[in-house]
Amino acid sequence: MPKTASPTKKQGQRSVNLPLYLDRYVPAWSSPEWLDANVWRKIVANQPLAVICRDTLIANITALDWKIEPVDSNMRDEVREDIKYYEKFFQYTGDYDYVDILEWICKDWCS
């Protein structure tokens, strides 16, 4: 049995020292070994409410305006070319545009 510090009671303390049989067991919030990403995607896809919530989140995210800004606003001129590059990259990466990428990532993230 591991050693535990004996509880102390300060003057005026109103709490009660409870016996050990009232321990709280917190479940481990981790994915079980048998639940891989494909199984979880199928579970979410078969629950209409989860699909509606996922699609609403995706629609809200894709409707947001975005702008790339440097952390230090005084460096705006120095990083102007980098900003243009990444704005162009996010708008169109070749096969997919910004909305397609967000939908793809968010469907996997929300599922």
Read off the pLDDT of residues 55-89 as tens digits, 9 standing for 90 and up: 898 899 889 888 888 888 888 899 999 999 988 88
Q: pLDDT at position 101, please?
A: 83
Q: pLDDT at position 73, please?
A: 85
pTM of the predicted structure, to 2 decimals: 0.51
CA atoms within 13 A on the CB side of 100: 9
Non-local CB neighbours of 104 within 8 Å, separated by 6+ positions: 96
Q: How many domains does the chain have?
A: 1
Residue 18 forms part of a structural domain:
no
CA 5 to chain centre: 37
Residue 87 forms part of a structural domain:
yes
Residue 28 forms part of a structural domain:
no
Residue 15 forms part of a structural domain:
no
Which DSSP string corresponds to 45-77?
HT-HHHHHHHHHHHHHHHTS------SSGGGTT
Task: Check: CB of residue 103 under 8 Å from CB of residue 62.
Answer: yes
Residue 20 forms part of a structural domain:
no
How far is the C-alpha of 39 from the C-alpha of 111, rounded, in Å? 10
Residue 27 forms part of a structural domain:
no
Residue 5 forms part of a structural domain:
no
Domain span at residue 73?
A: 36-110
Residue 50 forms part of a structural domain:
yes
pLDDT, one tens digit per residue, over 6-56 is 666 777 777 776 666 656 666 666 666 667 778 877 887 888 888 888 889
